[in-house]
Every structure is written in structure tokens, then in C-alpha cells.
Amino acid sequence: MRTNLTLLLLLTCITGAYAQPDERIAKSPKINYDWRPGFVSITEVSGAFGLMSQSAVYSKYYYGISTAAGYQFTRNIKAAIGAGIHIHNDGNLFPVFLDARYSFNANEFVPFIAATGGVAVNLNAPDQETLNNQFIFLNPGIGLKWVAANKTAVSFSTGLFVMSATSNRHSFINFKLGLELKGR
């Protein structure tokens, strides 16, 4: 008798779990829209201050703007490709990058982790050695996104920006303020 009741209770729990809908319904339409897959455009203004040795070229600070176009695959995963300009203390760099983001399950304020990586090139100094004008960079970070309207979100993030050339490496703590727009 005890075994039968245990099995009946287990079957009831399993049936109840499988009876839940696949699609979650958000508290408001803007959040429900944010969960849908589709085209994403992310534009960010960034600024950073250098860490460690700041006597090398490009190592004190930078500020800039970048934009990325990509796709939101699921409620949590986005990937994009982008370009921008970074104005450093000793010149301008033009980054071309890949951006990947994972958003945690939340409603209006959504925490996320991001990873950006690519190549930054100095186009203003072609007479110098080519390898010294190209930097490989990586920028892991964490942030918070506020879903402001149906197709609009505002994000703030911070991270460690590291770029490396043949003879040197630069590290920064950066801050980004972004605007995320979605397609249909």
C-alpha cells in the first residue's frame, strides 16, 4: 500500500511538471518581446583607465564608441559582429570584433556576462612597422540591462580590457553604456 501511494505521488509530480507550458509569459509585453529571438543592434559608448605601467603608447586611457549587429538565438544567448573607434592617449585605434552575451533569467533588470574579442588597428601610422599597428584584444565583462520599451534596452557594463601587440600588452578597466535595439 505504501509503495502504491509513493508511486502515485511520484507520477502526479512528474505529470504536473510536464504539463507546464514551454513558452513563459512575461509580466509586461516589453519583457515578453525581449525574450524573442531576432536581429539585435548594440551601440555602446565606452571609457577606460589604464592599469599597471602607463608609460607605454596607448596605455593611459581610452574612450570611444562601437556598434555591433547580431542575432539573439534564445532568451539568454546573443552573438554579434561590430566595429568602432577608440581614442587613446597616443592615437586612435579602430577595433573590429565579435561580441557574445549570456543574459540570466530576469524580467525588467537583466544581469548578463559578455565577452568581446577582436583586432584593433592604427590606420594613422602606416609608415611604422605593420605589426606594431595591430593589437589583439579581449574584453570579458559583467553588466545590467534595463528593458525600457518593446524594442529598446539600456545597458551598463564593466570589465577588463586587455590588448596585446608583438612587444607589449596593455590592460584597462572599462565601463560601457549601451543602447540595444531589436528588429521585429
Q: 108: domain CATH number?
A: 2.40.160.20
Could you count the other beta carbons within 10 Å of the beta carbon of residue 4?
8
Name residues whose C-beta falls within 8 Å of residue 164's C-beta, 6 or more positions apart in sequence. 135, 136, 137, 170
The domain of 143 spans 28-182
Q: How confident is the model at residue 54 (pLDDT cuts 50, 70, 90)?
A: low
| Residue 22 belongs to some domain of the structure | no
| Residue 21 belongs to some domain of the structure | no
How far is it between the farthest Cα atoms of the chain?
Answer: 88
- The beta strands (E) that lie in 51-184 are given as 61-72, 77-88, 91-103, 109-121, 134-149, 152-164, 169-182
Residue 131 has pLDDT above 90, yes or no: no
Could you count the other beta carbons within 10 Å of the beta carbon of residue 22?
4
Least Cα distance to 176 among 153, 154, 158, 152 occurs for 158
| Residue 8 belongs to some domain of the structure | no
Grid coordinates representing 5 are 501511494
Residue 134 vs residues 57, 76, 122, 128, 173: alpha-carbon distances, Å: 13, 33, 7, 11, 20
| Residue 1 belongs to some domain of the structure | no
| Residue 18 belongs to some domain of the structure | no
Grid coordinates representing 26 are 512575461
| Residue 49 belongs to some domain of the structure | yes
Q: How confident is the model at residue 132 (pLDDT cuts 50, 70, 90)?
A: low
pLDDT tens, position by position, 76-118: 899 999 999 999 887 889 999 999 999 998 788 999 999 999 9
d(CA 52, CA 160) in angstroms, rounded, equals 13
d(CA 76, CA 102) in angstroms, rounded, equals 5
d(CA 127, CA 123) in angstroms, rounded, equals 10
Structural domain count, the chain: 1
| Residue 171 belongs to some domain of the structure | yes
| Residue 16 belongs to some domain of the structure | no
In the prediction, which pLDDT does 29 show? Answer: 61
174 contacts 158 by C-beta, under 8 angstroms: yes
